[in-house]
């Protein structure tokens, strides 16, 4: 996540709050993750006096314990995988003296790369806030129960603002019965420190986090067993893509899995002395099915909002499993069903549960500020892309094919489908990465792109063109006439767009 500074730096704002009348600030933001940071930058760009409560955690999950360090681990481990793959190297005509297996890595060095990158991005983030004149309050912000007020839990000082944006983010969800010691049984928080590379690690949950870490672990030499509660592995992904991912990311690697089972009891071990034990029960019958003894277990079973102890009850706000209800404009509602708008209170990012992605949090922050400024704005969540940074990557925008079929039937339009292939793409073949597809789903009646799912080299970068198309309502007819650079991976999409209108790509 790279912060962009878009306005002229100003001096601190506390004393020159010009628009906020009787308040200390125009806007106070509680939480300084990417959501809070995005909101703060946009708030200053509108010349609003702005303060952020950071809870001593500038950058939040994404920068310190999420996107940034995990991508550093994936980058380093991906290189190890590639350089140790003798067959792959020999196809390029490359040999490594002493054999590809002589390529070594240093666990601490890899871990340091992740840590240093996180610190660097955190510093950049903090620097951008300071340069723009955002006041940073280091403590935690707690609603006092009186409108427009936030208390600093460290000093007890109360600050006021015309508008308050809650951006407290999320923390790992640990299912009941699972004991985490962050050494042998850990969440992503512990895993990112890469304290060890276990010989055999069980990963509980086959979502984004589980998949990305299976990529890191297998590249660094571990064997992985997935434990997934739902009947399919990778249950939240488009089925066709998940099947292909199973071939590319699971079957060819030292990975096996159990599906339809809950990890009901997980007990930490002692490295080198006592294994981690994992009792599994059938997801339907709840009967014990198996007990595994492994070197380590990673808990990747989703995330829950970090909204405890921030004074929500005192402010008359009822949460659902901790999630704060918001309307389309990001205004906080008193409750999830039939709640009323709480004036001057907004919630963005993971805590509102709309979409747990860094760029979604930031986009919601910008949107909230637009609405605060009186310019009505609604984020189109259907046009927000997502990516899983495995090797190869998986990326998508819009509903899965299964969801799109349902949507088309319900709304009465015809679903079209067209595919581009990496195996026919010159750039992919030059990289010896011919595995993968790009699937474009569109509305046959008006030509508009509904969703795109890609698995293949640099899918995370390729998806942006598709997200822009969904956002702008571009049709496959228009896309098929747009010129794509040759030779690039973008031509995989060109093939799919052209295929949708009966043209053939070169
Ligand atoms: C391992 C991992 C990898 C990920 N990879 C990606 C990825 O590649 N791409 C992607 O888009 N997303 C990724 N995510 C998800 C992404 O990190 C989150 O969606 C994003 O961080 C949400 O931003 P946020 O601002 O809502 O919350 P957070 O980043 O969680 O920030 C909230 C901040 O508020 C602070 N806070 C909480 N309460 C208070 C309070 N009362 N007062 C002051 N401060 C408070 C918290 O300490 C935290 O610093 C990943 C997550 C994980 C765990
Ligand atoms: N690249 C990215 O964009 C990225 C990367 C990592 C995380 N994230 C975000 O972080 C959030 C959390 O990721 P995640 O992978 O933890 O959650 P997830 O919701 O993607 O996947 C969790 C999986 O765990 C399974 N599960 C839950 N309880 C279980 C149990 N007791 N036993 C066995 N399986 C169980 C679920 O069925 C599900 O498949 C996601 O919402 C994602 O948006 C994004």
**Average of pLDDT values for 285-294?**
98
Say which ligand is closest to the CA of 459. Answer: 2
Question: For the chain, what is the mean pLDDT?
Answer: 95
Share of the chain above pLDDT 70, in %: 96
Task: Look at ligand 1, atom 42, and give the residue with the nearest C-alpha.
Answer: 140
Please indicate whether residue 495 or residue 15 has the higher confidence score (pLDDT).
Answer: 495
| Cα distance between the two ends of the chain | 36
pLDDT at 4 over 60: no
Share of the chain above pLDDT 90, in %: 93
- Token pair listed for 296: 């380590």
Q: What is the DSSP letter of 381?
A: G
Query: 110: closest CA among 72, 66, 71?
Result: 72
Q: Report the pocket of ligand 2 as residue ranges, CB < 6 Å.
A: 175, 204-210, 212, 227-230, 235-236, 262-263, 300-303, 356-357, 386-389
* Cβ-contact 378, 400 below 8 angstroms: no
**Average of pLDDT values for 138-151?**
97
**Average of pLDDT values for 83-112?**
94
Relative orientation angle of helices 107-131 and 67-83, to the nearest 10 degrees? 150
pLDDT in tens, 318-358: 999 999 999 999 999 999 998 999 999 999 999 999 999 99
What's the pLDDT band for 15 if we cut at 50, 70, 90? very low
- Residue whose structure tokens are 């046959």: 444
Task: Classify strands 261-267 and 276-282 as parallel, antiparallel or unpaired.
Answer: antiparallel
Those residues with Cβ within 8 angstroms of residue 194's Cβ, 6 or more apart along the chain or in another chain = 73, 107, 110, 111, 114
What's the pLDDT band for 506 if we cut at 50, 70, 90? low
Q: How many residues does the chain have?
A: 506
Q: Report the pocket of ligand 1 as residue ranges, CB < 6 Å.
A: 30-36, 53-55, 57, 60-62, 65-67, 70, 140-141, 167-170, 188, 209, 306, 310, 349-350, 356-359, 361, 389
Q: What is the DSSP letter of 248?
A: I
- Residue whose structure tokens are 């795109």: 452
Main-chain phi, psi angles of 310, to 5 degrees: -120, 20
Report, as residue numbers or ranges, the catalytic residues: 486
**Average of pLDDT values for 32-37?**
98
**Average of pLDDT values for 462-486?**
98
Q: What is the pLDDT of residue 121?
A: 98
pLDDT at 12 over 50: no
Rounded CA Rg of the chain = 24
User: Which element (helix H / strand E) includes 360?
Assistant: helix 358-372
What does the alpha-carbon distance between residue 60 and residue 462 come to, in Å, rounded to a whole number?
Answer: 27
What does the alpha-carbon distance between residue 167 and residue 169 come to, in Å, rounded to a whole number?
Answer: 6
What's the pLDDT band for 6 if we cut at 50, 70, 90? very low
- Token pair listed for 306: 């970090």
């Amino acid at each position: 996540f790279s912060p962009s500074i878009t306005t002229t730096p100003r001096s601190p704002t506390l004393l020159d709050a010009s628009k906020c009348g009787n308040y200390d600030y125009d806007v106070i933001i509680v939480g300084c993750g990417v959501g809070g940071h995005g909101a703060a930058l946009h708030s200053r760009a509108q010349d609003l006096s702005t303060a952020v409560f950071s809870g001593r955690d500038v950058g939040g999950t994404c920068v310190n314990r999420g996107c940034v360090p995990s991508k550093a681990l994936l980058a380093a481990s991906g290189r190890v995988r590639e350089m140790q793959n003798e067959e792959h190297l020999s196809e390029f005509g490359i040999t490594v003296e002493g054999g590809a297996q002589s390529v070594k890595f240093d666990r601490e060095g890899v871990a340091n790369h992740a840590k240093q990158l996180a610190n660097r991005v955190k510093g950049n983030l903090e620097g951008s806030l300071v340069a723009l004149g955002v006041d940073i309050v280091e403590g935690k912000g707690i609603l006092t129960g009186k409108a427009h007020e936030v208390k600093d839990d460290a000093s007890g000082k109360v600050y006021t603002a015309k508008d308050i944006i809650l951006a407290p983010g999320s923390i790992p969800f640990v299912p009941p019965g699972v004991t985490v010691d962050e050494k042998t049984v850990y969440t992503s928080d512990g895993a990112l420190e890469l304290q060890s590379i276990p010989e055999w690690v069980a990963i509980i949950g086959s979502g984004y986090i589980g998949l990305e870490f299976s990529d890191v672990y297998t590249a660094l030499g571990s064997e992985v067993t997935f434990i997934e509660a739902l009947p399919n592995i990778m249950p939240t992904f488009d089925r066709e893509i998940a099947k292909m991912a199973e071939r590319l990311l699971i079957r060819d690697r030292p990975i096996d899995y159990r599906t339809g089972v809950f990890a009901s009891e997980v007990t930490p071990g002692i490295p080198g002395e006592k294994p981690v034990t994992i009792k599994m029960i059938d997801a339907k019958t709840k009967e014990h099915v198996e007990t595994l003894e492994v070197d380590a277990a990673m808990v990747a079973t989703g995330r829950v909002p970090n909204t405890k102890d921030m004074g929500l009850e005192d402010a008359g706000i009822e949460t659902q499993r901790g999630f704060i209800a918001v309307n389309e404009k990001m205004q906080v509602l008193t409750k999830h069903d039939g709640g009323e708008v709480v004036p001057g209170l907004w919630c963005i990012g993971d805590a509102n549960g709309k979409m747990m992605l860094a760029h979604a949090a930031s986009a919601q922050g910008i949107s909230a500020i637009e609405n605060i400024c009186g310019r009505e704005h609604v984020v189109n969540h259907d046009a927000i892309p997502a990516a899983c940074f495995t090797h190869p990557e998986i990326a998508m925008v819009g509903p899965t094919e299964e969801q799109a079929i349902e949507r088309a039937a319900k709304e009465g339009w015809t679903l079209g489908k067209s595919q581009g292939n990496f195996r026919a793409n010159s750039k992919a073949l030059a990289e010896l990465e011919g595995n993968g597809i790009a699937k474009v789903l569109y509305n046959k009646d008006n030509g508009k792109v509904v969703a795109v799912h890609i698995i293949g080299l640099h899918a995370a970068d390729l998806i942006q063109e598709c997200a822009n198309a969904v956002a702008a309502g571009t049709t496959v007819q228009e896309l098929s006439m747009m010129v794509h650079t040759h030779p690039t991976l973008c031509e995989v999409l060109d093939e799919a767009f052209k295929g949708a209108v009966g043209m053939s790509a070169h």
